Structure 1
Amino acid sequence: MLETGVPAGGVGTDQASHDRPRATPAIDLLEGRRSLRRLPGDGPERCHGDYTAVTVTPVGVTLGAEITGVDLSAPLPAEVRREIHRALLEWKVLFFPGQHLDSAAQRAFGRLWGELETNPLLEAGDDPSVVRFAKGGAGRQTYENIWHVDTSFRPAPAMGAILRMVTTPPFGGDTLWADMGAAYDNLSDAVRARIDDAVAVHDMVPGFARFLDAGKLAELADVFPPVTHPVVRIHPETGRRTLFVNASFTTRIVGMEPAESDALLRHLFAQAHTPEFQVRYRWAEGTVAFWDNRATQHYAVGDYGSHVRVAERVAIAGDAPF
């Protein structure tokens, strides 16, 4: 039995489970309580000063807010840019409805936060920094319906990403984000002690093996060899401890036996599934989302069948996690 509060084989029961004491859960489920803080030291009701240049409307407790009163296709005054950045740190994923940007305006907005990544693993649009997700219909079905952190297989994963919705299906196609600071806060003391100084391997191969032929996969594996990152990273701007492993790309914890590593990673991956740590957003055409890739994971729901969903994304280059 690991000190995660779950059996080494993962969450589950067997026929003898009723004959032995129940394990203490890693997360305190008493009365369904969770620690839900947006930033270090917060309670869920705390606000971090008034926003005067934009209107911020929360859509979740710890993450997710709609931003209105701004035109992203026009040059942004410095105060507007500062307030958007402050809102990003506080709410971790921002939604800008009714924007209808073109690719050039999307790139210009992204460059306000840094250089844009290029990603040869994904289909690019007219510009190599713009990734086009066109799913459904007769084409490729979705493959983003797994919890993941964008480009965590890079030595310096993306700081953030900006997605604009081009075409929405008549139903489905929502995206969920999970607050990985809240996920860390709600781990047991025993689990935090095990992972606070641990490092894990991140590898692009497991996440893309289903979608690339063997030759292309081997070629890209040479370009993106496995890297190691802290299991718990410290957010470079808020200072918050954040769980930094994901089911797409994290393969093992360094220094642990394979069975022990696998069991602990399964437990850590499962934290993104907790509804209290999530926000789910229903897209409309023209909506733009901007998320902090250092603080969240996300999951694009593939529930729109043969209908078409088209979106374009730019990612902002980040720093090495510490």
Structure 2
Amino acid sequence: MVAAPFSPLGSLSVYDSYDATPHVGTRFPNKTTQLSQILEAPNSDELIKDLATLVSHRGVVFFSEQDLDIEKQKELGTRLGELSGKPATSKLHVHPISEQTPELTADVSVISSEGGIARNGYSKSARASAGWHTDITFESVPSDYAILKLHTLPTVGGDTLVPVMRPTTNSLLLIKDFSKALTAVHDGSGFREVMFWELVLVEDMLTQDPKYAKELGTPINDPRGSPENTGSHLQAVHPVIRTHPVTGFKSLFVNRGFTIRIVELHEDENDIAIWDNRCTFHTATNDYQGLRLGNRVVSIGEKPFFDPASKSRRAVLGL
């Protein structure tokens, strides 16, 4: 018999919820469970701290039919990190190419199927597997939690897939002590080289015109949620395996979107999702037609570190 996966609901156990899979994802399906009310509850600090812990253990948590406005979404993103112990210097992330508008501040990223950061490098024929990434790992101090509220969805498809980057027992045996000393370069220079993408529909194919971006001359936002996230270099070096500060578990910290090399090796629907960028990566499926639009808030966490005494989730839970 295998032990049931650990799911630390804490004070959130008063709300209806279920685990989407044995190891990843928890959903609060009842629309009476509103994040806006949790933010205003007398015990809101306890509830939000337990929510942060739940997201860290389960990777991603979903809330159905939410009325959370953008200011409350930003407040939740801030408090999740603060109540789970992030550095005082870490605020909400300002994306290098986010534009401040009268409706939204620069610390809110518009996620749109029509263009912008969500479509950087998009190819209509590409599989979703080509888009796996963890948010903003090119920053010296990357993200802890991210909150995405999709308010416009296609009729079918357009899902966001979120696996968890916890090493399996076999992979840990393969990488063993060798990988503990490895570091990886994470690069976001694509945002620097092409700071604005003009998407043109030509014979039913999306093409990108980088020359327009260079002519536009849009400056890189600076700083970006932490005093260390500054300048236009958009590159950082992080450990290949990091220790999660909330759970204490090891997790792989590389992703196809931004990791370009290992330093030590030679080159060869109004629903809301909250995920932990320290132990997950994600991609949006390309299985839909029509508009997919939402707002994302990304909280800055701590500088990635590795504690040699940390263990894998499977080892701790006997899975």
Residue matched to 1:108:
75
2:254 paired with 1:254: no
Q: 1:157 aligns with which of 138, 142, 147?
A: 142
Q: 2:270 aligns with which of 275, 286, 290?
A: 286
For 2:134 and 2:5, the matched residues in 1 are separated by 27
Q: 2:157 aligns with which of 151, 164, 172?
A: 172
For these two proteins, the number of residue pairs brought into alignment is 252
For 2:173 and 2:135, the matched residues in 1 are separated by 28
2:279 paired with 1:303: no
**TM superposition shift of 1:205:** 1.7
Q: 1:232 aligns with which of 227, 241, 254?
A: 241
Structure 2 residue runs of 5 or longer lacking an equivalent are: 83-90, 123-127, 198-209, 221-229, 306-319
Q: The residue matched to 1:160 in structure 2 has which SS?
A: strand
**TM superposition shift of 1:83:** 2.9
Percent identity (aligned): 29
Change (3 A) 1:94 1:223: same
CA contact (8 A) 1:156 1:320 kept: yes
1:195-240 deviations in Å (ceiling 9; x for gaps): 1210011110257756454577996495234211000011111111
1:84-128 deviations in Å (ceiling 9; x for gaps): 223212212010101032212211222222431111324555111
For 1:308 and 1:134, the matched residues in 2 are separated by 7
Matched AA of 1:252: R
For 1:159 and 1:217, the matched residues in 2 are separated by 30
Q: 2:17 aligns with which of 32, 44, 56?
A: 56
For 1:166 and 1:86, the matched residues in 2 are separated by 26
CA contact (8 A) 1:153 1:224 kept: no
Matched AA of 1:163: L
Matched AA of 1:193: D
Structure-1-length-normalised TM-score: 0.70
For 1:124 and 1:135, the matched residues in 2 are separated by 19
Residue matched to 1:317:
300
CA contact (8 A) 1:44 1:62 kept: no
1:112-170 deviations in Å (ceiling 9; x for gaps): 2243111132455511111111214xx66834751111110001101110000110011
Residue matched to 1:35:
none
Q: The residue matched to 1:52 in structure 2 has which SS?
A: helix
For 1:316 and 1:253, the matched residues in 2 are separated by 26
Q: 1:99 aligns with which of 39, 62, 66?
A: 66
CA contact (8 A) 2:96 2:191 kept: no
Change (3 A) 1:185 1:244: farther
CA contact (8 A) 2:158 2:285 kept: yes
Structure-2-length-normalised TM-score: 0.70
For 1:297 and 1:304, the matched residues in 2 are separated by 21
